[in-house]
Amino acid sequence: MSFGYNYNFIFKILVVFILSYSSFNNIFADSFLEIDFTRAEPHEALSAGDGTVYIDNKNSFSLPLKNIDINKKIDFFVGNSLFRRNWVAAPSIKMSSDGLGPFFNGSSCESCHINDGRGHPPGTFINNNDDTTSIVLAIGIPPQNEFQNAQISSLRLKLIPDPTYGSQINDNSIEGILPEGSIKLEYQYFPILLDNGQLVTLRKPNYTIENLNYGPLHSEIRISARVAQPMIGLGLIEQIDISDVIANESKQNIHLSSISGKVSHVWDDRLNKKSYGLFGWKASQPSIINQTVDALHHDMGLSSSLYPNGNNCSEKQHKCKSMETGNSPNQNNVEVSDEQINLIIFYQKHLSVPARRNVDGLNILSGKKIFFESGCASCHVQKYKTKFNANDKSVSEQLIWPYSDFLLHDMGEGLADDLSEYTASGREWRTTPLWGIGLTEAVNGHTALLHDGRARNILEAILWHGGESKSSRDKIIKLSIKEISQLVDFIESL
C-alpha cells in the first residue's frame, strides 16, 4: 500500500532528524570525515575517562578505577579476594567457602577470567594440552513443541536446554561423582591469500563432547564454545545510556545498507521483566549481577538468593541431586550470601581500563584512519558519555572509549554456532569492545581472540569477519603489507 510506504519513509527521515539533533552519543558517532587523523582526539588515551589507569604489564586489567571513592577501596579488595576464592566441596571446615559443584567448570571466577583477562581454548599453552577450564561449552536444542516455542518467543527462556545435561557441559566434578563429560577439540586449517601476497592460515575449531557419563545428548544438540571474557570497564558499560545503544541500532538501519545491528532483548530473572542484554558474547545478560549469579550457579554449582538450589543437576541426574550442599542457615540457606555477591559485583564494576599507548604515533593514526575508512567503526563504535550516577561518581558522566555498539550482528556462516540465545540467532554475536585488546598478551600470555579463541592474532580475527562485516573484511584483504601493519598497530594501541 503506497500510503504505508510513504509513511514509513517520512518516519525514517524524522528519526534521522531527531537522532542528529538529540543524543549526545550521536554527536560523536557521526561521519569519520569530521575526525582529524593527523592528531589524537582530546582525551583519546583515557579509555575509562577519569578512572583510566596507566599500566602495561600482567596486572593491567586488575586495577580499580583511578577515581574510585577512597572509602570504598577496601570493598574492592575484599571483592577481589572473593573473585579469586577457590570454592571447595561441602561439607568442609571452611564453611563460608564450601558448596562447589557437584558439577562445575572452574572453582573460582579467576580460574577462567585469568588475571581479570580472558580465557583460552585448550592447547593454547604447550605442556598444558588438556586445559579446558577457561572455555565453556554452551549447549541447547531447538524448541521441540509449541510450549517451548512460546517460552522462547516470550523471552521466558534464553534457550531450550538439553534434557539431561542442561545448558552447558560441566567437565569437572567434586569427589564421589563423575563429571558430565570431557571436551575434545580438533582444528581444521585453511589458507587465505591477501592481495599483497601474504598467506594467512585460519583454523576452525570442531568441539565434541566425549565420555558422556549420563547418557546421550539430544540428537539435535547444538554446541557453542566460548572463552571467558576480559573483566575490564564493566561498570562503565553498565552505565552507558541504553538509548545510545538503541540509537546505534536506528542509525545503522537507516544509514548503512549491509550493517543492521540489533539490540539484544532478554529476560531479567532478578527483576522478573524484559530487559536489554549487554553482557556475554551474545549479549544475553542484562547486568553484571545477573551474569554473576548465573556464573556461580552454572560454572561453579554455587547457590545464591536468586538460584537457591545448592546443586546444579538436571532432573535426570539423580546421584548429583542427592549430594550434600553447602547451603548454610548462617547465610540465609544459600552457599554465597547477598553480602558476598554485592562485594563481587562491586569489584567487577570498578575494574578499570588501561590507558592507550602511543595515541599520537603516526603509524597508529594512519591505522586509525584505515579502521574508520574500512567501516570497522560502524560496529566498533568509538566512544560514549556515561549516564549521571549520583551514588557512584567514578562511573558517572565519563567519556569512555570501548569501541563497540553493544548490538548483535550476523557475522556469517564461518563464525556461526547455530545456537540462539533470546533474540540472538545462531549467526549473531555482540560486537566485542576492543578496549584493552592490545594488552591481552601482557595479561594472559597469548593472543587467542574471538568468542572461542580461534583467531591467533588480530589479523586472523579480522579475516574471520563475515556476514554484515564482510565488506569491511574485503577492504582489509586489499591493503598493502604496510597498511595492514598500521591497522594492527592501531588496534594494539587500544
Residues that bind ligand HEC (CB under 6 A): 105-106, 109, 111-113, 133-134, 136, 138, 226-229, 234, 259, 279-282, 288, 291-292, 295-296, 299-300, 344, 348, 371, 374-376, 378-380, 409, 411, 415, 429, 431-432, 434, 437, 449-451, 458, 461-462, 465, 468-469, 472-473, 476, 491
We find the least distance from the C-beta atom of residue 437 to ligand HEC, in angstroms, to be: 5
Comparing CB distances to ligand HEC, the nearer of 266 and 437 is 437
Task: Render 209-270 in DSSP notation, one character per residue.
Answer: EES-BTBPPPTT-EEEEEEPPP-TTHHHHHTS-HHHHHHHHHHHHHH-SS---BPEEEEETT
We find the least distance from the C-beta atom of residue 433 to ligand HEC, in angstroms, to be: 7
Alpha helix (H) residue ranges in 66-145: 73-84, 109-112
Comparing CB distances to ligand HEC, the nearer of 385 and 456 is 456
DSSP at 56: -
Dist CA 265 CA 282 (whole Å): 11
Dist CA 124 CA 131 (whole Å): 8
C-alpha cell at 413: 556462516
We find the least distance from the C-beta atom of residue 355 to ligand HEC, in angstroms, to be: 18
Comparing CB distances to ligand HEC, the nearer of 296 and 334 is 296
Strand partners, 141: 160
We find the least distance from the C-beta atom of residue 428 to ligand HEC, in angstroms, to be: 8
We find the least distance from the C-beta atom of residue 4 to ligand HEC, in angstroms, to be: 29
Alpha helix (H) residue ranges in 397-457: 440-444
C-alpha cell at 393: 561518581
Comparing CB distances to ligand HEC, the nearer of 43 and 475 is 475
Comparing CB distances to ligand HEC, the nearer of 302 and 313 is 302
We find the least distance from the C-beta atom of residue 145 to ligand HEC, in angstroms, to be: 25
Comparing CB distances to ligand HEC, the nearer of 49 and 367 is 367
Dist CA 469 CA 412 (whole Å): 8
Which of 484, 467, 459, 462 lies closest to 414, judged by CA?
A: 467
We find the least distance from the C-beta atom of residue 305 to ligand HEC, in angstroms, to be: 14
Comparing CB distances to ligand HEC, the nearer of 390 and 463 is 463
We find the least distance from the C-beta atom of residue 43 to ligand HEC, in angstroms, to be: 22
Using CB atoms within 10 A of its CB, is residue 132 exposed (0-12), middle (13-18) or buried (19+)?
buried
- Cβ atoms 263, 407 nearer than 8 A: yes
Paired sense of beta strands 182-193 and 199-210, if any:
antiparallel
Comparing CB distances to ligand HEC, the nearer of 63 and 145 is 63
Annotate 283-316 with b (16+ C-beta within 10 A) or e (fewer): bbbbbbbbbbbbbbbbbbbbbbebbeebbbbbee
We find the least distance from the C-beta atom of residue 331 to ligand HEC, in angstroms, to be: 15
Comparing CB distances to ligand HEC, the nearer of 18 and 207 is 207
We find the least distance from the C-beta atom of residue 370 to ligand HEC, in angstroms, to be: 8
Comparing CB distances to ligand HEC, the nearer of 345 and 355 is 345
Torsion-angle region of 205 (φ positive above 0: left; ψ -120 to 50: alpha; else: beta):
beta
- Cβ atoms 359, 32 nearer than 8 A: no
Mention every residue, 6+ apart, whose C-beta is less than 8 A from residue 445: 125
